[in-house]
Amino acid sequence: MEQLTSILSISLGAILINNFIFSQFLGCCPFLGCSSKVDTAVGMGLAVTFVMGLASAICWVVDYYVLQPLSLGFLQTLTFILVIAALVQFVEMFLKKSIPSLYSALGIYLPLITTNCAVLGVVLLNVQNNYNFIESTVYGITGGLGFLLAIVLFASVRERVEFAEYPESFEGFPICLVTASLLALAFMGFSGMKIF
């Protein structure tokens, strides 16, 4: 029961209260880069969710069974980024062979996930928060779902903003950032929410 409560509160926290983008600023590059269309945003969000869940699980195992017994904690950053890079490569190869339609839909975004700070961020946060295997995996997946929610919301707003009138200097990136700031303001409404 206790496990269930902790999983529930981790999920709620990762998706709404401490949303990776709107309250922790992790994964802003793809968030701003791949959100001009809702379709690509959904693809990117799903790919990131998948990689984040898998990376959390694998990195927890690597950390617990390899790095900690050998007291190589200082190699964490280096090891995790290598694990993530290898993982993304494998996912890419696997998708290419078995689900080519999804592979072509994701296109260039797949390799870019390696340098998404949300992925490395979630892995480092798992270690920092001392999560166990299940909690880590859940945090990874729900963090990814939070990212998906944020990027889809943002892409839908952005499609509309394109037709709006705004000062010339705000063209391109600045207006996106202002839009994102308003979304962040909306997400602030979730802060302070608690389960049980």
Partner 1 sequence: MNIKKQFRDGLITNNPVLVQLLGMCSTMAITTMLFNGIGMGISVLVILTCCNIVISAMRKVIPNDIRIAVFVVIIAGFVTIVDLLLQAYIPALSESLGVFIPLIVVNCIIIGRAEAFAAKNTIGASALDGIFQGLGYTIVLTIMCIIREFLGSGSFGKGLINTVGGVIGTGSGLQIFPEEFGAKLLTMPFGGFLTLGVLIAVMQYALRKSKEKKEKKEKEGVK
Chain residues binding partner 1 by CB under 8 A are 22-29, 32, 74-78, 81-82, 85, 114-117, 120-121, 124-125, 128, 167-178, 180-182, 184-185, 187-188
Q: Are the C-beta atoms of residues 183 and 150 closer than 8 Å to each other? A: yes
Q: DSSP readout, 43-95?
A: HHHHHHHHHHHHHHHHHHHHIIIIITTTT-GGGHHHHHHHHHHHHHHHHHHHH
CB 142 within 8 A of CB 14: yes
Name the residue nearer to partner 1 (CB basis): 99 or 186.
Answer: 186
Minimum gap (Å) between residue 147 Cβ and partner 1: 12
Nearer to partner 1, 69 or 167 (CB): 167
Cβ proximity to partner 1: between 71 and 101 the closer is 71
User: CB of residue 101 vs partner 1: minimum separation in angstroms?
Assistant: 26
Q: Least separation, in Å, of the C-beta of 114 and partner 1? A: 8
Q: How far is the CB of 192 from partner 1 (least distance, A)?
A: 13
Query: Which C-beta is closer to partner 1: that of 61 or that of 178?
Result: 178
Instruction: Name 36's Cβ contacts closer than 8 Å, sequence gap at least 6.
Output: 155, 158, 159
Of 187, 186, 139, nearest to 12 (Cα)? 139
CB 48 within 8 A of CB 179: no
